[in-house]
Structure 1
């Protein structure tokens, strides 16, 4: 399927915003949902809404099959070794916090180190800040190259024998940088550290093989890949998860409860306390089916093309500053930019008047904004339903934005 054929499955795109056909360029924040996902959610609530695992009645069995079937789809999607390594969470943020709270508190102490980068999303910074404060560990930042990439040499110079955790995003939500996770994981393991990967911007856009990457933990969110909000995944190597304590306690995650002591269920359920996100998991499974029908390699190729096309066309606009590597082969499908002295929020407002949705602000990456020496940026991010025509409309809107503010000032 090409992008124009794919668009037919996204009913939200068939509308006008402020009198113009919608051009949605904010998929890095959240993607739109295909009919297959919407219908899967509707079918669950209409036909077999029930709790999972506990009941033996027909609806409960169907719900359990749908929920656990989605877990197997996730396992295959990222090539995990076992469904026991797939934990359903509320999203990437919850997954990273789970690792910090469970593995981190048990394995990080005073004098130890946690290594991250300047480009990380806040959800991959704050949990490690808090862990460092609680334990007396040191939080270290690997330096970035001038184009916003990470060199393995710098990683080798940053990670030491005191490093216990290295946590790096696979793809930057601001720069589009695709980090060499496999090589970074090798450096971490050479020093006895575990490798945590924020995969929020990777899993929707490219093939992920956690065994090939040899990461110890990998987190991603359903809502950025055509799935529902409120569902995400934590992958962890089985031997690590088995030795970790749960961070939420209650129903579903217990084996036996006594008056003063309790025992936990086996993996993966010991980390899924309470009624799980049943509809969300089923919807995520439907999203995975849809993406795999298109083909993850084709999705990545399409987005590389859009990024290259966007950088070429946007660079023709006077006063345009584009951040990150200029090599399209090294970046994912987004372009973060500023336009002369026009504030990004003003850029986004004028574009919205033209029916074009982009993101403006610090993108939950304030340390990176400081590194870029800006307070905010605008960002256009692409997905399977975007076309060259969308980018042409963006460029036209940017020209209008520049003309408008030139007239004002």
Structure 2
């Protein structure tokens, strides 16, 4: 078999019946590869939904932004591709997706409003429109910062825990199925191949996205599949966010699966040593090959991330604030007085003079007179005061001295 030079990192859901060849990162079974979007801007669907624009396509079909003329709101409409419909033979799987997601009510899961069919036999899933971008698109611009990575994965973990409590395994967690809204909140979407443990629907769980599949999913072990499979996939997403690359690849699907089943992922900190150790530990635990070694629940993973993240500071923007030179004297006076205020407080709390900043040992260099401080410590006090003054100016306050 002729191998493609490009590593196989397929990011679309694939059909098991296809061969192992990979063509420019896509397989011959891409559902929308040879299809034109069935709706155009201005089209009206079911005399109710006016198409505004094409949003994208994926394994299941096409997605459009539309205006719901009856309820006066924007919605996302998913229409299955013709190839997908021919595979299904009927609309049962489409209805199943809507019923699956309809069971879920969580702030980090995109809700489904309705499932509608047209006289010509076509079907549509109507969902909430989340204004923002999917994580795949954002990744193409570069790796996000650590606070954003932690918050995104934490949001998804909370969403997955809710789904798992309802006996639903997503089975296709990947960046393209995670939408970040304009406020930075993550939303999980596309439960098109979700595995419903209650209904024992075992014919779709092995149709996920190869590079993000858990080892048990690659082996089609549907009877033993549970929420830990999604946790593994989320670990892969975290790895990709941290490292800018996937942990496993291959020139064919078979080679990729063999690597997932037997190869060891390179530790993230060997790729980027600025990654915090605790985040590397969380990532590697989530993507442990043995499900028993992973997090038991996605909630456990979210809690570990929460402990690292602390709070998400959102200070007022002072980057463009210029402090007038006449306030320099005030900054120096406030620095000295603030230093003395803290010194009094430290003494009252039982602190002692120390050569270094060491809060755990209750020693601090502020317990000496300001004029005896090294210049580096004075700069620390000045920076604190300067930040406060810039904040006041940015908020519109004026600073004047009484005569």
Tell me which interval the TM-score lies in, with the shorter structure as reference length: under 0.3
TM-score for both structures, normalised by structure 2: 0.26
**Bigger Rg, structure 1 or 2:** 2
TM-score for both structures, normalised by structure 1: 0.26
Of the two structures, which has the highest relative contact order with CA contacts closer than 8 Å and spacing of 6 or more?
1
